[in-house]
Amino acid sequence: MNRLELDGQIVEREPLRYTPAGVPIVNCTLAHRGTTQEAGLARQIEMTLVALAAGEISGRIANLALGEPARFAGFLAPRNRNAKSLVFHITELLEIEED
């Protein structure tokens, strides 16, 4: 299974654009900061991730305020057919449940 959920925020976003087939797409950069467990030890994580949203979800991503916390879900795929770098394809924008 190829599924990723990430709590973070949009720190950069390009304007909404359309493919030649008319599909709306928005490219963005997500930032994540948090703590997780690895080998029984707490590990601090700070990272940015290149992402995109296509179709209906792109409008929601385009309207999300920069820096607003959100939970993103989707999958990872190569940037293009021959690329080794990955892009996070956002397919869902989920509510963050307060603890």
Residues with Cβ within 8 Å of residue 35, at least 6 apart in sequence: 42, 43, 44, 45
Summarize pLDDT for 57-88 with one digit per residue, the tens.
999 999 999 999 999 999 999 998 898 999 99
* Mean per-residue pLDDT over the chain, rounded: 94
What per-residue confidence (pLDDT) applies to 98?
60
DSSP for 40-91 reads: TEEEEEEEEEEEEEETHHHHHHHHSPTT--EEEEEEEEESSTT--SEEEEEE
Is 4-91 a CATH 2.40.50.140 domain? Answer: yes
In the chain, where the domains are located: 4-91
Tell whether the model's pLDDT for residue 99 goes beyond 80. Answer: no
